[in-house]
Amino acid sequence: MVLLLVLNIHGAINSSGPVRKALEELKVVRRFSASVVPGDASTLGSLKLCKDHVAWAPVDTDLLATLLKERGMVSTTKALDVASLKKMGYKDHEELASKMIEGELRLSAVEGLRPFFRLAPPKGGFKRSMRRASSEKGMLGANPQLGDLVRRML
């Protein structure tokens, strides 16, 4: 199963009820929040419903390990460090990321880990329009350049 990285670019302000519900299910209600979700049919339906608010792309092990290391949180104030990982039963961030990519566990299933990442605005700004789909030279929707953008947001 493929995992998708979902990034909310617009937030949930002035969105309809079904779109807000889909953003809550994807765990990306706030602006510049990201989450890792499975790429099954129900998730793809939610993504298509809120395609004017989010961007998504398949995530690789390196990007997921970097996200866990830089922006993973155990509580509202405590970052996901090596001591917290060892307490959960994992050796390092790469091991947790590889288990997630293989499909053995989900981000929301890890005990004590927050199921989303809070990101900063991208360094250097958005290189493409935030209001258009990626097929129209924008950022929204299924976007193959999302990994580069997220790396600039860490």
Report how far residue 131's alpha carbon sits from residue 103's, in angstroms, rounded to the nearest whole number.
33
What is the third-level CATH fold of 61-113?
3-methyladenine DNA Glycosylase II; Chain A, domain 3 (1.10.15)
Q: How far apart are CA 141 and CA 112, in angstroms?
A: 30
Instruction: Give me the pLDDT at residue 51, please.
Output: 92
CB atoms near residue 64 (< 10 Å): 22
Q: Domain ranges for the chain, please list them.
A: 3-59+118-153, 61-113
Domain spanning 3-59+118-153, CATH architecture:
2-Layer Sandwich (3.30)
Q: What are phi and psi of 91, to 5 degrees?
A: -75, -50
Sheet containing strand 138-142, edge to edge, reads 117-118, 33-38, 3-8, 54-58, 138-142, 129-133
**Contact status, residue 105 vs residue 99, Cβ threshold 8 Å:** yes
**Can you give the pLDDT at residue 134?**
87
Please name which of 52, 22, 16 lies closest in space to residue 37, comparing C-alpha atoms. 22
Residue 108 has pLDDT above 80, yes or no: no
Alpha carbons 52 and 118: distance in angstroms, whole number: 20
Q: Is the pLDDT of residue 47 over 80?
A: yes
pLDDT in tens, 71-83: 999 888 888 888 8
Give CA 107 to chain center in angstroms.
10
pLDDT confidence tier of residue 35, bands split at 50, 70 and 90? very high
